[in-house]
A and B are shown apart, each in its own frame.
Chain A
Amino acid sequence: NAGVTQTPKFQVLKTGQSMTLQCAQDMNHEYMSWYRQDPGMGLRLIHYSVGAGITDQGEVPNGYNVSRSTTEDFPLRLLSAAPSQTSVYFCASSYSRTSQKLFFGSGTQLSVL
């Protein structure tokens, strides 16, 4: 099983550039979410989705957009990258809304210069 797949693994952007971080899961999970991980701050929730067509904001949503057109995919878009968005980004999914086991991808390390 592939589980939660994130691409790319590494990315360098210039300030103002846009890009999309991809996340796909093959476990038919309803719940998908994006976190960013910064040193000393743990994992902070950016956006989440409880099913296709349904998204909501997490703790740090500013500067990021998401959409959920299919159950499998949950891309994260940076419309105009800023140095403050330099971080490691993780996608995570759960089998169902009421299931509490959250499974993570391997992460995308993003640097914004």
Chain B
Amino acid sequence: GQQLNQSPQSMFIQEGEDVSMNCTSSSIFNTWLWYKQDPGEGPVLLIALYKAGELTSNGRLTAQFGITRKDSFLNISASIPSDVGIYFCAGQLVGTYKYIFGTGTRLKVLA
């Protein structure tokens, strides 16, 4: 089936540093979603992207919908300890109601 390749798998960064992660696929999507998941909780929606080339921010988070519609990027600026968690991308396949998810990026912030 379709897969989303998410990288990096994990990151250790210093507080205050910027973070970048991305998702790529061979499939085309009409929507990209970015989530954060804390231990024992469900994923929480951070940013939604609906158009190729779209750049959207939510506080210190910025995400972009790739021009090819096959990829997306999430940046976190000036990381803080509460940014710790697992970040997932999800794409909705064109012509379907289905969302497929990346395998996640585990972020750890060192104070």
For residues 3 through 52 of chain B, which have their beta carbon under 8 Å from a beta carbon of chain A?
4, 6, 30-31, 33, 35, 40-45, 48, 50
B45 and A42 contacting across the interface, CB-CB below 8 Å: no
User: Does B90 have its Cβ within 8 Å of any Cβ on chain A?
Assistant: yes
Binding site for A on B (CB under 8 A): 1, 4, 6, 30-31, 33, 35, 40-45, 48, 50, 88, 90, 92, 97-104
Q: Which of under 10, 10 to 19, 20 to 34, or 35 or more describes the interface residues of A?
A: 20 to 34
CA distance A60 to B42 in the complex (A): 20
Given contacts A42-B103, A48-B97, contact A100 B50 (CB under 8 A): yes
Would you call A2 an interface residue if the criterion is a C-beta within 8 Å of the partner chain's C-beta atoms? Answer: no
Find B42's partner among A33, A50, A101, A107 (CB 8 Å cutoff).
A107
**When A90-B42, A100-B33, A106-B41 are in contact, do A45 and B99 touch as well, CB less than 8 Å?**
yes
B104 proximity list for chain A (CB < 8 A):
42
